[in-house]
């Protein structure tokens, strides 16, 4: 998605910056990244959610309860204490808070990226 976003950026911006004497780093940080903020924010949000909700690998590798991610800890807690639904639901709410906060921070760019891809 990021590759297509960078390929879709007009070359006129890059050529104009080179004519003004801009270096490659200046072109990347001052032209390309601001023009592609929406794609970068969408990919970073999806990557964070994928890593945050990773379940299988920590379940296989981790044996110490103090080092387990919250999703694996909630599943093991549910397995051992299935009758206590309140703490499991509270842990689920706590687990979703960082994803909701990141979405609220990046929602402007997220919605821009979705509207660009739907055109």
Domain boundaries, the chain: 1-35, 37-118
Q: What is the C-alpha to C-alpha distance for residues 98 and 94, in angstroms, rounded to an integer? A: 8
Q: What is the C-alpha to C-alpha distance for residues 52 and 19, in angstroms, rounded to an integer? A: 44
pLDDT digits (tens, 9 = 90+) for 15-60: 999 999 989 999 999 989 988 888 888 888 888 888 888 888 888 8
Global pTM value: 0.69
List all residues 6 or more positions away from 60 whose beta carbon is below 8 Å from its beta carbon: none
**Residue holding tokens 């920590």?**
58
Q: What is the C-alpha to C-alpha distance for residues 76 and 71, in angstroms, rounded to an integer? A: 9
Burial of 41 (0-12, 13-18, 19+ CB in 10 A): buried
pLDDT digits (tens, 9 = 90+) for 71-117: 888 888 877 776 778 888 888 899 889 888 988 888 887 777 666 65
What pLDDT was estimated at residue 29?
92
């Amino acid at each position: 998605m990021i590759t297509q976003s960078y390929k879709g950026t007009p070359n006129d911006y890059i050529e104009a910056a080179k004519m003004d004497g801009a270096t490659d780093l200046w072109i990347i940080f001052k032209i390309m990244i601001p023009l592609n903020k929406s794609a970068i924010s969408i990919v970073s949000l999806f990557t964070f959610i994928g890593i945050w909700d990773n379940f299988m690998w920590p379940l296989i590798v981790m044996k110490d309860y103090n080092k387990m991610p919250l999703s694996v800890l909630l599943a093991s807690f549910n397995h051992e204490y299935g009758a206590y639904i309140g703490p499991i639901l509270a842990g689920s709410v706590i687990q979703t808070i960082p994803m909701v906060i990141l979405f609220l921070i990046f929602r402007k760019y997220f919605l821009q990226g979705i509207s660009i891809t739907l055109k």
